[in-house]
Structure 1
Amino acid sequence: MPFTLATWNINSVRLREPIVQKLLQEEGPDVLCLQECKSPVEKIPVEGFAALGYRHMVARGQKGYNGVAILSRLPIEDAGEQDFAALGHARHVAGRLENGVVIHNFYVPAGGDVPDRDVNEKFGQKLDYLTAMRDWFHADKPEKSVLVGDLNIAPREDDVWDHKKLLKVVSHTPVEVAHLAETQEAGGWIDITRRDIPEGKLYSWWSYRARDWDAADKGRRLDHVWATPDIAGAGHSSRILRDARGWEKPSDHAPVFATFDL
């Protein structure tokens, strides 16, 4: 059962319902994982998505903050969630497709502005969240699984517009990159996007602060698609839909796609 999956930090699913529908209509992924939905589950506008064929959803939400949802036109069952680092945030949900593939949808804490946990509680929470993810994957090795989401870290030098300038900027600091690498290694996860697109600058996020984000192109690759080794070989056709960053009332993130022939 081949399926195409997309992951997108939507920055309010209700505010940006029109562009979610645009993506579903124009690109037609079988599964769309959304982060930062900023909505209780019962207020996610499921009727419009169902009318486009996306009749299945597993989600966790809260009012005004965080929130993760998996929309699917394929049957999918709720496979639970984890409250990593006991933050009490809606940052993870898992769904299981009929072919047995488990999809983990994550929204890792952004970490605030100062990369020092002694003066910035949010940065400490981010590191603790990643450590808890790592420990969970060590204890319960994932199989036949895909992990997607806004992991809020750009790990490689070519995942940011200027490696040296961003070494002390939250999302690209060495301590964050090391924590993400440990988390990836613990689960044996393979970065499908970079396996498919191994060379060159690659971004999925551009700040709202840039007057002309497209021309400045000061991006970061914060959104990821990983897979366990047993199914990673079935993944292909990775791409980032950069154009979506320029749609009307856009998110500051662009959707990331991959297809799996399973």
Structure 2
Amino acid sequence: MPFTLATWNINSVRLREGLVARLMAEEAPDILCLQECKSPVDKIPLEQFRALGYHHIVARGQKGYNGVAILSKLPIEDIGGHDLVDLGHARHVAGRLENGVTIHNFYVPAGGDVPDREVNVKFGQKLDYLTQMRDLFHADRPEKSILVGDLNIAPREDDVWNHKQLLKIVSHTPIEVEHLAQTQDAGAWVDITRQDIPAGPLYSWWSYRAADWDAADKGRRLDHIWATPDISNAAYGSRVLRSARGWDQPSDHAPVFATFDL
């Protein structure tokens, strides 16, 4: 049975409740994974989402920061979440569908502005978070699983608007890319988006600082959908809904989609 999944850093689910509802109404993914919800779970505005068919939720939240949620039309069981690096942050939740597929929703720390852990604690936390993700997948090799989220790293040269200019910018530095690659290798994760769209510029984030984000097009692919090898060949239809970046009072991220026939 095919199901479509989307991942979106919403940058406040309460502030952008209307945008989430618009995505649900217009695109109707079966499963919508949100990051940076910035809300305790009991304050997530579920009434409108349920009216649109999203009756199931697994989530971790906190007031004003972080927060991850999986909103689903399909029944989904909460199977836990990890507080990596003991930050006390709501950055991971996992759910299992009735067909046995596990969905991991991650929000990796952004890492601050300076790519040097000696002077920037946040950058060190980001690298340590990725290391613990790697170790998690080494210790418990995932099967029949999908990993989505704002991983806050654009790994490939064509995942950023200018590879050379961004080599010293947090999100595209070689050390971050290497840490992400080790995490991906530990779970043998397949980058579904790039499996479907193997070449060419592809972005999911555009800074609020640009006067005209669309014309400048200085984007980065920070949002990802991965799958384990046992189900990766069941994936198709990957796309980025770039137009959502231009909606009224938007998130600086656009939703990323993929469909799985399982």
TM-score range for the pair, normalised by the shorter chain length: over 0.9
Superposition RMSD on alpha carbons, in Å? 0.3
Query: For each residue in 1:181-235, what CA deviation from the matched residue of structure 2 results, as whole angstroms up to 9, or x when unmatched?
Result: 0000000000000010001000000000000000000000000000000000000
User: Residues 162-177 of structure 1: matches in 2 within 5 Å?
Assistant: 162-177=162-177
Structure 2 counterpart SS, 1:110: coil
In the alignment, does 2:136 pair up with 1:142? no
In the alignment, does 2:62 pair up with 1:79? no
Letter in 1 for 2:214: D
Letter in 1 for 2:208: Y
User: Residues 232-247 of structure 1: matches in 2 within 5 Å?
Assistant: 232-247=232-247
Deviation at 1:86, TM superposition (A): 1.1
Which stretch shows the higher mean deviation, 80-89 or 218-227?
80-89
Letter in 2 for 1:56: H
TM-score relative to the length of structure 2: 1.00
Deviation at 1:149, TM superposition (A): 0.2
Match of 1:255 in 2: 255
Deviation at 1:79, TM superposition (A): 1.1
Q: Determine the C-alpha separation between the residues in 1 that align with 2:67 and 2:188.
A: 26
Match of 1:203 in 2: 203
Match of 1:230 in 2: 230
Runs (5+) with no aligned partner, structure 1: none
Q: Percent identity?
A: 81
TM-score relative to the length of structure 1: 1.00
Aligned length: 262
Deviation at 1:81, TM superposition (A): 0.3
Structure 2 counterpart SS, 1:8: strand
Match of 2:37 in 1: 37
Match of 2:70 in 1: 70
Q: Determine the C-alpha separation between the residues in 2 that align with 1:149 and 1:79.
A: 17
Letter in 2 for 1:102: T
- Structure 1 segments of 4 or more deviating over 4 A? none
Runs (5+) with no aligned partner, structure 2: none
Letter in 1 for 2:138: H
Structure 2 counterpart SS, 1:6: strand
Match of 2:8 in 1: 8
Q: Determine the C-alpha separation between the residues in 2 that align with 1:79 and 1:47.
A: 24
Letter in 1 for 2:12: S
Letter in 2 for 1:197: I
Q: Determine the C-alpha separation between the residues in 2 that align with 1:155 and 1:87.
A: 24
Q: Determine the C-alpha separation between the residues in 2 that align with 1:258 and 1:67.
A: 22
User: Residues 11-160 of structure 1: matches in 2 within 5 Å?
Assistant: 11-160=11-160
Q: Determine the C-alpha separation between the residues in 2 that align with 1:121 and 1:232.
A: 36
Structure 2 counterpart SS, 1:79: strand
In the alignment, does 2:190 pair up with 1:190? yes
Letter in 1 for 2:149: G
